[in-house]
Amino acid sequence: MKLPNIKILDEKDKLLREKSKEVTFPLSSEDKQLIQDALTYLEMSQIEEYNQKYNLRAGMGLAFPQLGSLKRIFVIVNEYDEGKFEKYVVINPKIISMSEEKIFVGEGEGCLSVNRETEGIVPRHARITVEAYDENGDLYTFRAREELSVAFQHEIDHLDGILFIDKIDKQNPFKDRQTMREI
């Protein structure tokens, strides 16, 4: 595998605080290429051989704003078994339902745009149903649970100019921990 030449913006970049625009179809060849590059980058970041060779931080998702493009597109690569990956291309997503149950990632959420240690919990819905388009412009509905639900919510936040660190209570980083389930 060849490491794609993509630049991931740092949290200090003001572009990450802007709201992304809806995408129209067909996608441009540049957008299709950026989708493929992001998918490849994420997969390589999760394979030990590559993340050590190229000094990559493991990542599960990338939103277009992180790559300098204010479009409502993100990709997720989920390693569901050793060396086996599910890949999601999500365009113009809308959350159409969510569970009342809240969860948080025990070791804390991370982000390829936030290059520092953070402490605190990010409340997320345990299950969400998302309606979105794939890269061909076909509408689909997807129900995400647990880690995938967290990843989808995290990336949708990016499309709205929100970083996970914004959701951590500054005065009490572990606020309401007892009302949520740790994953």
Compute how many other C-beta atoms are within 10 angstroms of the C-beta atom of residue 115: 12
Report whether 18 contacts 64 (CB < 8 A).
no
Report whether 113 contacts 16 (CB < 8 A).
yes
Alpha helix positions (H), 29-172: 29-46, 48-53, 146-159
155 classed as catalytic: yes
18, 22, 155, 182: the catalytic one is 155
Element holding 143 (H helix, E strand): strand 139-145
The set of catalytic residues is 155
